[in-house]
Amino acid sequence: MGEEGTGGTVHLLCLAASSGVPLFCRSSRGGAPARQQLPFSVIGSLNGVHMFGQNLEVQLSSARTENTTVVWKSFHDSITLIVLSSEVGISELRLERLLQMVFGAMVLLVGLEELTNIRNVERLKKDLRASYCLIDSFLGDSELIGDLTQCVDCVIPPEGTLLQEALSGFAEAAGTAFVSLVVSGRVVAATEGWWRLGTPEAVLLPWLVGSLPPQTARDYPVYLPHGSPTIPHRLLTLTLLPSLELCLLCGPSPPLSQLYPQLLERWWQPLLDPLRACLPLGPRALPIGFPLHTDILGLLLLHLELKRCLFTVEPLGDKEPSPEQRRRLLRNFYTLVTSTHFPPAV
Confidence of residue 3 (pLDDT cuts 50, 70, 90): very low
Q: For residue 114, what pLDDT is reported?
A: 96
**Cα separation of 136 and 274, whole Å?**
32
Share of the chain above pLDDT 90, in %: 72
Q: For residue 252, what pLDDT is reported?
A: 93
Q: How many helices (H) and strands (E) does the chain have?
A: 14, 14
**Cα separation of 266 and 277, whole Å?**
19
Provide the edge-to-edge strand list for the sheet that holds 186-190.
Answer: 186-190, 178-183, 244-250, 228-241, 217-224
Per-domain residue ranges for the chain? 9-141, 152-284
**Cα separation of 216 and 233, whole Å?**
20
Q: CATH assignment of 9-141?
A: 3.30.450.70
Same fold, 9-141 and 152-284: yes
**Cα separation of 231 and 138, whole Å?**
25
Confidence of residue 251 (pLDDT cuts 50, 70, 90): very high
Average pLDDT, the chain: 91
Is the pLDDT at 26 greater than 60? The verdict is yes
Q: 60 in helix, strand or coil? A: coil
Q: Which CATH architecture has domain 152-284?
A: 2-Layer Sandwich (3.30)
Beta strands in 255-342 (DSSP E): 299-303, 308-312
- Beta-bridged to residue 24, according to DSSP, are 14
Confidence of residue 317 (pLDDT cuts 50, 70, 90): low
Q: For residue 165, what pLDDT is reported?
A: 96
What does the pLDDT look like over 46-99, one tens digit per residue?
989 988 888 888 888 999 998 999 999 999 999 999 999 998 888 899 999 999
Q: For residue 316, what pLDDT is reported?
A: 65
Q: What does the pLDDT average to over 101-130?
A: 97
Residues 284 and 157 sit within 8 Å (Cβ to Cβ): no
**Cα separation of 38 and 324, whole Å?**
27
Confidence of residue 145 (pLDDT cuts 50, 70, 90): very high
Q: For residue 262, what pLDDT is reported?
A: 82
Q: Which range (164-173, 184-193, 216-225, 293-302) has the least confidence?
A: 293-302
What does the pLDDT look like over 151-181, one tens digit per residue?
999 999 999 999 999 999 999 999 999 999 9
Q: 195 in helix, strand or coil? A: helix
